[in-house]
Structure 1
Amino acid sequence: MPDRSIRRRSPVALEHPIPTRADLSRDEWLARADALLEVARAHATPGAGRILFPGDEGGYGAAVDGLEGFARTFLLAGFRIAGARGEGVDELIDFSARGVATGVDPDAADRWVRMDEHAQAKVEAASIALVLDLTRPWIWDRLSELTQHRVIAWLAPAVGDDTYPQTNWVWFRLVVQTFLRSVGGPWSAGDVAADLARHDSFVRSGGWLADGPERAFDHYVGWALHVYPILWSRMSGAAELAGGRTPADIARLDDFLGDALDLVGGDGSPLLQGRSLIYRFAAAAPFWAGVIAGVPSHTLGRLRHAADRIVTHFADHGAPDAAGILTMGWHHEWRPLAQSYSGPGSPYWAVKGFLGILLPADHPVWTAPAEALPVESGDVLAAIETPGWIVSGTRADGIVRVVNHGTDKALAGARTADSPLYARIGYSTATAPLVDERGWLEPLEQSAALVDHAGRATSRTAMTLVSARVQDDADGRVGIGASVSDAHWVDPDPTAHRHGAGLAGTVSSAGTMRVVSIVRGSSEVRLVTVEELAAGVSADDLRLRIGGWPVASDAVRAGTDGSGAWAAANGRVSGIRALALDGRAADGVADVVARPDASPLGADVRIPVTEHPVRVGETVAVVLDLAGGAPQAAPTATLDRDGRTLAITWADGIRTVSTLTDSESPVPAARHHEVRSGTSHAIAKEQHA
């Protein structure tokens, strides 16, 4: 289990508890919600059964797009109506009821797609059932008897359907059947028990859950696997089905929120990691769920502030756009960020971030004093055991970084190409992985890969997590992460579907690679050892490439100086520098690689990299930095003769001594490495250009 004593858990332990920027009032939240709903109604079909936002048709066709558009904005309508207790929202109630009646009318031109016509209807049915329960006095109870029967008939195919993916989708069947049971429709106690058991199989340590059997740790943990249990427990009749499980669900959410708060950037940006990032401020949903559940360890003011900062971040950066529409992208429209099946209505799962408006005006959350995010209050350093992450946030620039040694959206032992959304070594709130076509085929940014003469780079999916911990000594604290991977090349099979996981194909092994990360502030000292090569693979045919943080903008400045490379834009600098070993000069060759149009954050994308000869059993060391404002000088470091004691003098003069475990040690016993480097003059010079 992780050492919880090193984690910020107490709301009163922060140095600067009051945020510098005022939060939205409830009226301002409602105004933003109403603006989204007004635009949605403007794009409704004549019967209001479908909402078709502008844009290219999604991978599942226009009929599914229209159902998504209705169901996902219906969530927001439900929050709005419930929070108003049905008062002053008559037009919204009438529109919503008309859309439901049309959607379940089998003869309507804009009826809803049925579950037996397309599986996506199973997802959208959960939103519809949830809102019909949430707004029961104002919508369901006013529907005609015929429409109620049609709703039941439209939802009924969920009962006994064993084709639901065994991921967060189990909640779609649970929510639908709970509603059906409450209105006298069909339901299955066996289905409910099976789905709850499957959810429990996702439970991991520290309040985390996996989205299925894979090592899939992403925003779905919060906006689906934690939110649905809380909302479900409030549905009519759910208490009888829950069997006393709700306190455990709340306790897990409470624990998870400590990590989730650490992962929000000082500018309100969520971590750019994992699939479905076009859902944007849905990342705020677990904080509102914590308010609704009454979690004991986090104050109302801090949870509301976290949700506020996330939603406001996107509003400040162009989402929704000038037409009031949430496009497929991050700040702006950028279609490659979406999944292959996504359509114009898909981004509206973002409205989960407005979950808090279902709380009435007299709820104490609206008057609780705002309290700052952890990274707004001080530097953050934490280890999260379940995903294998070291989290480092710096108050000076508000950037939160994650060094990843355990997440790849794959089963243990399953070798695929690396998913850029999951398997990179680093993610942050200020950078985005490269998710153009080449990014899915070739690990570059935040990677350590063996590259052959044909330019093929190895993947590390199915890496073994060695450690993710924080070492807290009198001289200073560092995060230590380590993993071992079977480095492999993948020639991918053709596929039309991209659901976030790495591409499968023909696999050939390159060798075994060990990566150890020592993290402090904006910097990581990364030790990479090729422990052995696969049979028939020659070191002479390979080079070791280590990629740094990607920088994207409309115009990026970049350069090299010997063993170092840097890229800078928007006041943020990414640097990488090879460090000397065994008293020898660093033999890494630095470069900056351009990948135009590969990032949702800008068309000009640059990645600082170093390349090194491959020497089996010999450790290569680099320092990577991502910071706002002036860059850090490169540290100096010494690895002791036993390969287990690493002393680092950081840029600010602090010296830390890390005792590595046998499994973390990057070199065999009796080897002695000295690692040294000076200040990156190229980066320093760039700051004054």
Structure 2
Amino acid sequence: MTYDPATANPLFGNPLKTRDDVEKGLRDLFQPLLPYFSEGGARVRLDGAGAHFDRAAADLEGFARPLWGLTPLAAGGAEFDHWEIYRQGLANGTDPEHAEYWGTVNGTDQRQVELAAIGFTLKMLPHLVWEPLPQKAKDNLAAYLKHARTFDYADNNWKFFRILVDLGLEECRVEFDRSYTEKYLEELEGFYLDGGWYRDGNVRRIDHYIPFAMHFYGLIYAKLAKGDDKRVADYKQRAREFAQDIQHWFDEDGGTLVFGRSLTYRFACGGFWGALAFADVEAMPWGVIKGHFLRHLRWWSKLPIAHGNGVLSIGYGYPNLFMSESYNSAGSPYWALKAFLPLALPADHPFWTAEEVEADFDDAPVPLKHPGMVSFHTPGNVVALSSGQQNWQMRHGAEKYAKFVYSSRYGFSVEVDERAYHSGAFDGALALSDDGRHYRVRETNEVAQIAGDKLHAVWKPWSDVTVETWLVPANPWHIRVHRITTPRALHGTEGGFAIDRAEFNADTYIDEKGRGVAKSKTDVSAIVCLAGGRDGRAFRTLPNSNLIFSKAIVPQLHGDIPAGTTVLVTAAMALPTGLDAEAALDAVPAAPNIAELEALFAREGVDVSAILVPERF
């Protein structure tokens, strides 16, 4: 049978309008996993792809991550036919004498991540996964969890994993050292910034781990913890504040900003909206929260995110290992099931009974100081201008954190050949080359400031080359101003937004002096040189580089940059095909005055929060 990438998605065709629809979606996502459970139930191995950790930990990941959805399902009163498999798996995976033993934790370990789902399940469903176990299995499971929690966890959102394990141990009346719990709760406070925003550790990145980890786990704690009233109140209030900002990482169709690492977790990004409901935090009217939640699931239901067997793939909009992290095993994508947390709520909860409210975004720019972004909405899309973040540790860290602009509808591209400057996508970025083969893009910033709805950064692609970049919203366009000071001649290529490329090249490509435009059946993308004398082209990127489109077109500007100081000014936009897009092509914004931008930042510029951490290599 021919593989159909749409119908292979277990959510495909599900209207995702009601609680019953959401429950069906979860069941349909889990069903393809059943053939892959090991004989003893403790391991789930989905394919041969590897991660940096050992196979036993990857198999535990495949076993545990579905619990983020299955546990709320059962907590909400629904039947599930396979708890016996999970009971067997818990018993065998924690038995050192069993062939399916998960392995002993002896330091910071991926197993600590996956045990959080087990702690959550023990807290929510002790009658299903703890009480039926024989005493030896209980002793092994308790000993395994207690041992794992004595080691250091990564200095970021991982600290919540010990806390979730402890909630489970407490529910099962297992004695443990509670000083460890309090220690991590206090250390997590050190990541809090203001206005509901956290960092994911003491690093220069503020990404989707804030909604789908820091707030997600905090809201679970707020719902389930006992006797910690002050912290619970803080977590809820921070979530209320955060909701006002994070809604501007979502578009009117439910897509979310394609930005940062771990994007293979997909609809985990919508987990924040479900966690608000779980914790009874009406940060917005319930119908508004429900709308964000359901639209997000529906957005994902239309993409080829699964293999032909219905198992979620590593990738984003389609199976794609290029964009993955070293810690992504085949079971990693099932953190997406964190989105199903509201199934723990009864059908008469106001989240479920509320009438879904459509998105109501205007076109005004929204400054977001902490992540260093200025967000604005266009039809079916949210655009975020960005400065101040970095990630040196992850594969494609520059593409995931340091581009000038990110988008929900058009995603971004990772470079799939770092020694082929002429073949680079460079969407949302400026690439510079001094030999025509290798290239440099922005990876980090020496300065990153925000003033009103504008951003300014200073970055050095080489130690002797300095680039100043200003980013200015001009909805639906945005403007980039680059002042480049270099002791030698360079060549530059700058990209706009990527759009889907049709079969048989049935698109329109406009290559002109000073302008590149790509037109497809669905979208129009353009980049215009407002200063700098460059040539334009609509470039067919290498396949599987964009996170949403397996084949894409990116309009680009390219040209020589002489030694000395050169100013480049660029305008870029993308819109759905139609009259608005054609009108926008005829209404290119004017170049801003650099002296006025400098005066603005001298007067009002403040440091982006993300950069206020010492650089670590």
What residue is the counterpart of 1:10 in the other structure?
none
- The equivalent of 1:510 in structure 2 is 464
1:397-448 residue CA offsets vs partner (Å, 9 max, x unmatched): 311111101222369xxx9985211111111012232224336997822123
The SS at the match of 1:401 is strand
How far did residue 321 of structure 1 move? 4.8
SS, match of residue 400 in structure 2: coil
Residues of 1 paired with 2:431 and 2:28: CA distance? 47
Residue number in structure 1 paired with 2:611: none
1:638-665 deviations in whole A, cap 9, x for unaligned?
A: 655x82179xxxxxxxxxxxx8333799
Q: Paired residue for 1:424?
A: 403
Letter aligned with residue 602 of structure 2: D
Whether the aligned pair in 2 keeps the contact of 1:177 and 1:186 (CA below 8 Å) is no
Given the alignment of the two structures, is residue 239 of structure 1 paired with residue 226 of structure 2, yes or no? yes
TM-score normalised by structure 2 residue count:
0.87
Residue 669 of structure 1 is matched in structure 2 by none
Q: Over residues 265-300 of structure 1, what are the superposed CA-to-partner deviations in whole Å (9 max), with x where a residue is unaligned?
A: 233222111111111100110011111223343111
Task: Find the residue that maps to 2:283 and give its secondary structure.
Answer: coil
Three-state SS of the structure 2 residue aligned to 1:335 is coil
1:145 aligns with: 135
Residue 567 (str. 1) matches residue 518 (str. 2): yes
| Whole-Å separation in 1 of the counterparts to 2:518 and 2:355 | 40
Residue number among 340, 358, 364 corresponding to 1:354 in the alignment: 340
- Match of 1:325, SS state, is coil
Q: Secondary structure at the match of 1:624?
A: strand
Whole-angstrom distance in 2 between the partners of 1:63 and 1:449: 41
- What's 1:48 paired with? 41
> Residues 271 and 338 of structure 2 are in contact (CA less than 8 Å); yes or no, is this contact kept in structure 1?
yes
Q: In 2 relative to 1, CA 93–191 (structure 1 residues): closer, same or farther, beyond 3 Å?
A: same
Equivalent residues in 2 for 1:229-628, closer than 5 Å: 229-235=218-224, 238-240=225-227, 242=228, 244-375=230-361, 378-394=362-378, 397-409=379-391, 419-438=398-417, 444-470=426-452, 479-488=453-462, 509-530=463-484, 532-533=485-486, 537-538=487-488, 541-555=489-503, 557=507, 558-580=509-531, 587-597=533-543, 598-612=545-559, 613-614=561-562, 616-628=564-576
Asked whether the 8 Å contact 1:265–1:400 carries over to 2, the reply is yes
Change (3 A) 1:554 1:99: farther
CA distance in 1 between counterparts of 2:195 and 2:510 reads 42
Partner in structure 1 of residue 8 of structure 2: none
For the residues of structure 2 that align with 1:605 and 1:416, how far apart are their CA atoms?
21
Superposition deviation, residue 546 in structure 1: 2.5
How many residue pairs match? The answer is: 579
In 2, the alpha carbon distance for the partners of 1:112 and 1:380 equals 51
Partner of 1:156: 146
1:281 and 1:590 map into 2 onto residues whose CA distance is 36
Is the contact made by 2:420 and 2:437 (CA closer than 8 Å) also made in structure 1?
Answer: no
Matches within 5 A, 1:143-222: 143-162=133-152, 164-222=153-211
Change (3 A) 1:437 1:153: same
- Which of 548-557 and 30-39 deviates more? 548-557
Aligned-partner SS, 1:116: coil
Query: 1:88 and 2:74 equivalent?
Result: no
Alignment match, 1:637: 590
Given that 2:312 and 2:333 are in contact with CA atoms closer than 8 Å, whether structure 1 keeps it comes out as: yes
Tell me: CA distance 1:464–1:207, structure 2 relative to 1, closer, same or farther (3 Å): farther
- 2:106: which partner in 1? 116
- Asked if the contact 2:527/2:557 (under 8 Å) is kept, the reply is yes
Q: Which moved more, 1:312-321 or 1:349-358?
A: 312-321
Give the secondary structure class of the aligned counterpart of 1:450. strand
Asked if 1:101 is matched to 2:94, the reply is: no
Q: Which moved more, 1:333-342 or 1:586-595?
A: 586-595
Contact 1:577–1:610 at 8 Å: present in 2 too? yes
C-alpha change, 1:64 and 1:432, in structure 2 (3 Å) is same
Structure with more relative contact order (C-alpha pairs < 8 Å, separation 6 or more): 2
Q: Residue 9 of structure 2 aligns with which residue?
A: none
Partner-residue secondary structure (3-state), 1:431 = coil
Q: Is the 8 A contact 1:513 1:528 kept in 2?
A: yes
Report the alpha carbon displacement of residue 188 of structure 1 after superposing the two structures with TM.
Answer: 3.1
1:374 Cα offset (Å): 3.5
- Structural RMSD (CA): 2.8
Rate the CA distance shift 1:232–1:206 in 2: closer, same or farther, 3 A.
Answer: same
Unpaired segments of 5 or more residues in structure 1? 1-20, 471-478, 489-508, 581-585, 647-658, 666-689
Q: Which residue of the partner structure matches residue 28 of structure 1?
A: 21
Alpha-carbon offset, residue 59 of structure 1: 4.2
Q: Give the secondary structure class of the aligned counterpart of 1:141.
A: coil
Whole-angstrom distance in 1 between the partners of 2:365 and 2:592: 23
Distance change in 2, residues 1:274/1:405 (3 Å)? same
Whole-angstrom CA distance in 2 between matches of 1:456 and 1:231: 47
- Which of these two proteins has the greater Rg computed from alpha carbons? 1
CA distance in 1, matches of 2:420, 2:136: 53
After superposition, the Cα gap between the structure-2 partners of 1:239 and 1:410, relative to the gap in structure 1 and judged at 3 Å, is farther
Tell me, yes or no, if the aligned pair for 1:215 and 1:410 is still in contact at 8 Å. no
**Paired amino acid for 1:611:** H
SS in 1 for 2:464: strand
**What secondary structure, in the 3-state scheme, does the structure 1 residue paired with 2:46 have?**
coil
Q: Write the letter of the residue equivalent to 1:458.
A: R
1:440 and 1:197 map into 2 onto residues whose CA distance is 45
Shift of 1:487: 2.9
Structure 1 residues 217 and 428: alpha-carbon distance in aligned structure 2, compared to 1, 3 A threshold: same
CA gap 1:246/1:635 in 2 versus in 1, 3 angstroms: same
1:662 alignment partner AA: A
SS at match of 2:240: helix
C-alpha distance in 2 between matches for 1:57 and 1:449: 31
Residue 533 of structure 2 aligns to which amino acid in structure 1?
D
AA aligned to 1:627 is L
- Residues 156 and 480 of structure 1: CA distance in aligned 2, closer, same or farther (over 3 Å): same
User: By how many angstroms is 1:462 displaced?
Assistant: 3.0
Q: Distance in 2 between matches of 1:524 and 1:637?
A: 11
Compared CA separation, residues 351 and 418, structure 1 to 2 (3 A): closer
* 3-state SS of paired residue (1:420): helix
Question: 1 CA distance for matches of 2:283 and 2:341?
Answer: 20
Paired amino acid for 1:73 = P
* Contact preservation (8 Å) 1:215, 1:387: no
Going from structure 1 to structure 2, the CA distance change for 1:49 and 1:639 (only over 3 Å counts) comes to closer
Q: CA deviation at 1:336?
A: 1.6
Conserved 8 A contact 2:383-2:406: yes
- The residue that corresponds to 2:7 in the other structure is none
Aligned to 1:505: none
Note the C-alpha offset of 1:112. 2.5
Q: Is the 8 A contact 1:525 1:622 kept in 2?
A: yes
Q: Does 1:131 align with 2:121?
A: yes
Aligned residue number for residue 31 of structure 2: 38
Say if 2:416 and 2:542, in contact at 8 Å, map to a contact too: no
How far the C-alpha of 1:545 sits from its partner, in A, is: 3.2
C-alpha distance in 2, partners of 1:639/1:349?
Answer: 44
Matches within 5 A, 1:55-74: 55-74=48-67
CA distance in 1, matches of 2:448, 2:399: 21
Residues 381 and 374 of structure 1, relative CA distance in 2, 3 Å threshold? farther
Whole-angstrom distance in 2 between the partners of 1:638 and 1:332: 37
Q: What residue identity is the alignment partner of 1:60?
A: F
